[in-house]
Structure 1
């Protein structure tokens, strides 16, 4: 498999239409709405009602658009022109184009791309987006650029993110390998691998269209991400001038973070 530096172009540019099908599936759009429903009250409790938000790696806007419907002003950036085109189209059709702005931008250079649009009240990375795509030094630079776009006391939300402890547990004790995910008119077979020497989780996604009772192969793409344990993410964030506020297993239910579960970490700019 290709290392993390090469797969991003394949996944989000050359074969962007494959993952777009996943993001725009009924189940994933619903999941995006549920994520926004968890984020909005949390931000409101933190005094950020109607605040200006930045979502990094926004995809087709499945989280950003529901947040805009809840009264927030949202800027979304993604490296994929196709995803940004779809986000703009969806924001118009759903009546929130005036309070959203979607731009094609590489997160590694977002400070320059967004210098005239900040500062932001909160910055979001949702569903294992961007952080972990490259290497640790790049992740640190991304977090520093996010800090440069934030106000003093702004929040950084890294949500619904795979974490090292969970991935290592499943790889060691459950020997998870292949998964079949049904998205309605198409399906994806996911083959998962984890390398404990690099802490990279690699997934090969094979896409199939449903044809009656049969599956017809469409294409495949690979995903390769560096997964962090909470303490590693906290250390990186601190180096970028973010302090951990709290961590949850579920932001919606405010259940405390546990190692064998999704990671939802909230940081504050200092």
Structure 2
């Protein structure tokens, strides 16, 4: 896998250090509160919703949702993380062999109008360092949602007036990070055909976060 692509530079961290590095950054309170938020939305859907965990990592949220017998699939660009997620799924005897798939948020590997609900949390969106990739990802999210389907994005809070790409270095591996702000997102979203969207600033696990809600 070439490292010339900024996103590939990011997943190189996982290839080199495995899922343990990502898991070491996890916050149990954040995980619990995010799951509560997700379940509040999922519970509003009638029937058996089909759910997408976009940029699922090692299954931090996918696996607890599978434990609730929900029909959820996790997608991540990192084969290393998907392999770990699948290993945990098998060990827990959850879901099926299609529960985790390698895929890119800019080219989500599903036909159009598939999902009732989806989400992308933590800082996954921040790996998209240019407007073209960001717009492509939002367009793909719109494409794979069913009419009336909803999607939630949760990312770190930033308030830079003019956000610029930052270069982050982890254990000698450099990757690009884009500090999304509320105003920046509010400029992007009208360009996508969502029926409804909102950008909110809320506290999750005592940290200020940005949460985006979108409806197709």
TM-score (norm 1): 0.68
Match of 2:129 in 1: 134
Match of 2:165 in 1: 200
> Pick from 94, 111, 115: which aligns with 1:115?
111
Q: Secondary structure at the match of 2:111?
A: coil
Q: Secondary structure at the match of 1:222?
A: strand
Kept in 1, the 8 Å contact 2:14–2:80? The answer is: no
Q: Which runs of 5+ in 2 are unaligned?
A: none
Kept in 2, the 8 Å contact 1:49–1:72? The answer is: no
Kept in 2, the 8 Å contact 1:108–1:138? The answer is: yes
Q: Secondary structure at the match of 2:99?
A: strand
Mapping 1:130-169, distance limit 5 Å: 130-159=125-154, 161-165=155-159, 168=160
CA offsets, 1:198-228, max 9 Å, x none?
Answer: 522333223xxxxxxxxxxxxx323322222
Match of 2:38 in 1: 39
Kept in 2, the 8 Å contact 1:22–1:28? The answer is: no
Larger strand proportion of the pair: 1
Distance 2:132 2:82 in 1: 27
Match of 1:101 in 2: 99
Distance 2:199 2:162 in 1: 28
TM-score (norm 2): 0.83
Kept in 2, the 8 Å contact 1:125–1:158? The answer is: yes
**Do the aligned partners of residues 91 and 18 (structure 1) sit closer, same or farther apart at CA in structure 2, a change above 3 Å counting?**
same
Match of 1:234 in 2: 186
Once structures 1 and 2 are overlaid, which stretch shifts more, 100-109 or 10-19? 10-19
Match of 1:266 in 2: 213
Distance 2:163 2:198 in 1: 28
> Pick from 53, 56, 75: which aligns with 1:55?
53
Distance 2:22 2:47 in 1: 27
Q: Which runs of 5+ in 1 are unaligned?
A: 169-195, 207-219, 254-259
